[in-house]
Amino acid sequence: MGLFDKLKNLVSKKEEIQDEEEKEIIENYDQGLKKTREEFVSKLNILGIKYTKVSEEYFEELEETLIMADIGVNTVMNFMDKLRKRVKSENITDTSYLKEVIVDELLVIYVEGESLSDKIKMNNEGPTVILMVGVNGVGKTTTIAKLAYKYINEGKKVMMIAGDTFRAGAVSQLQIWADKTGSLFYGVENSDPASVIYDGLVKAKEENADIVLIDTAGRLQNKVNLMKELEKINKVIGMHIPGAPHETLLVIDASTGQNGISQAKSFKEITNITGIVLTKLDGTAKGGIVLAIKEEVSLPVKFIGLGEKMTDLKPFDIENYIYGLFKDMI
pTM: 0.91
Query: What pLDDT, on a 0 to 100 scale, did the predictor assign at position 217?
Result: 92
Share of the chain residues as helix, strand and coil, in percent rounded to the nearest 5: 60, 10, 30
pLDDT for residue 11? 66
Contact 44, 102 (CB under 8 A): yes
Sign of the torsion formed by the C-alpha atoms of 155, 320, 279 and 72 = positive
Query: Among residues 319, 326, 305, 322, which one has the least CA distance to residue 28?
Result: 305
Q: What are all long-range contacts of 16-19, with beta carbons under 8 Å and residues at least 24 apart?
A: none
Per-residue DSSP letters for 104-117?
HHHHHHHHSSSPPP
Domains and CATH numbers, the chain: 3-111 (1.20.120.140), 128-317 (3.40.50.300)
Query: Which residues of the chain are modeled with pLDDT < 50?
Result: none
Question: pLDDT tens-digit profile of 243-284?
Answer: 999 999 999 999 888 889 999 999 999 999 999 999 999 988
What pLDDT is stored for residue 18 in this prediction?
65
Give long-range contacts, CB 8 A cutoff, 24+ apart: 30-33.
30/323, 30/324, 30/327, 31/282, 31/306, 31/307, 32/281, 32/282, 32/304, 32/306, 32/307, 32/312, 32/324, 33/281, 33/282, 33/287, 33/306, 33/321, 33/324, 33/325
